[in-house]
Amino acid sequence: GQGDPDFSIYDIASFSKKASEIFKKSKIKNSNQSIIVYEEDKATWWPETWNQFDRKESYGSPITRLAIASNSLEGSVQEPLKRFNFIFSQYLNDYGINPMIVNKNYVENFSNRIGRKVVYSVSSAPINALLSLANSESHNFTAEVLMRNAAGTWNHNVATIKVGNWLKTKRLPTKGFNIADGSGLSRRNRSTTLGLASLLWHINQNKYSYIYKSSLAIVGHRGTLASFSTKPSIYGKFYGKTGTLNGVRALSGILDRKKGDLYISIINRDIIYSDPLIVDILDMINRFTPCI
């Protein structure tokens, strides 16, 4: 697996059916039949800087290669591999086979794959859909998986270093930045409003910028900003990403204007009155900023 957030029980059923067809044609005795399920080492399922409380919530579910529906919608499943094995075994039995399921740690570029062939696979949703899930819905699991796949490694520490190095190569004002995970859940993440606004500007210079912009939540319309109390002047015009921690409310994004897009990042410590204040700031920027 590669951490597809939409991988489902129905996909496991399809794999089981295909496995049963292969085993029934095999000359291997039933007692010697086995299926190897590769997963990341349990010690790496959560970034080490994630709070223990968060790890028990659905938004802090373990980041595994074979998560079923991103692990859970109500409280995280702490032993996802055991659940996967149980469901897999049940379906295999339904199709008339009972092979031994063997769990092994996934090793990148391991040589055991030499000579093997793919007999069945399930593809994830396209990248624009996954970006939309991560950005507009603040889906932590998807954000973490995207970081690992973009970095080309599931080694969390290596992946975060690669992200930090990528930012440095773009000559962005990232002084004060610290990348501790892909979702922003770690309390060790650090960023600045200048750095975030500059990053948004940089992304908008790319030929695929429209895909990224369309993945963001929209004030009054979609995602975490759908119910955001706003003013008519910015309704449907701000594309952004929200962020919330104890005592802090953050909002970064793009204000879509005829005179040209504005790249905005706001971090406010007054959590009680933050949303009305942020709306007032966006409204003033929209009305009184004559140019980019």
pLDDT tens, position by position, 109-163: 766 667 788 889 999 999 999 999 999 999 999 999 999 999 999 999 999 999 9
pLDDT: is 9 or 72 the higher one? 9
Q: What is the mean pLDDT of the chain?
A: 90
Q: At what angle do helices 80-94 and 9-25 cross, to 10 degrees?
A: 50
pTM of this structure: 0.91
Give SS3 for 262. Answer: strand
Radius of gyration in angstroms for the set of CA atoms belonging to the chain, rounded to a whole number: 22
Strands of the chain, DSSP E: 34-39, 100-105, 217-218, 238-245, 248-255, 262-268
Query: Is the pLDDT confidence value at 271 over 70?
Result: no
* Eight-state DSSP code of residue 119: -
Task: List all residues 6 or more positions away from 114 whose beta carbon is below 8 Å from its beta carbon.
Answer: none
Q: Output the CA–CA distances (angstroms, integers) from residue 151 to 7, 70, 182, in the order listed.
A: 21, 20, 11
pLDDT number for residue 116? 82
As separate numbers, helices (DSSP H) first and strands (DSSP E) second, the chain gives 9, 6
User: Where does the pLDDT of residue 80 fall: very low under 50, low under 70, confident under 90, or very high at 90 and above?
Assistant: very high
pLDDT number for residue 227? 85
Q: Which residues pair with 251 in a beta bridge?
A: 242, 266
As a whole number, mean pLDDT of residues 79-98 equals 94
Helix (H) or strand (E) holding 180: none
Query: Is the pLDDT confidence value at 250 over 90?
Result: no
Asked if 225 and 238 touch (Cβ cutoff 8 Å), the reply is yes
- In percent, the amount of the chain with pLDDT more than 70 equals 96
Query: Is the pLDDT confidence value at 28 over 80?
Result: no
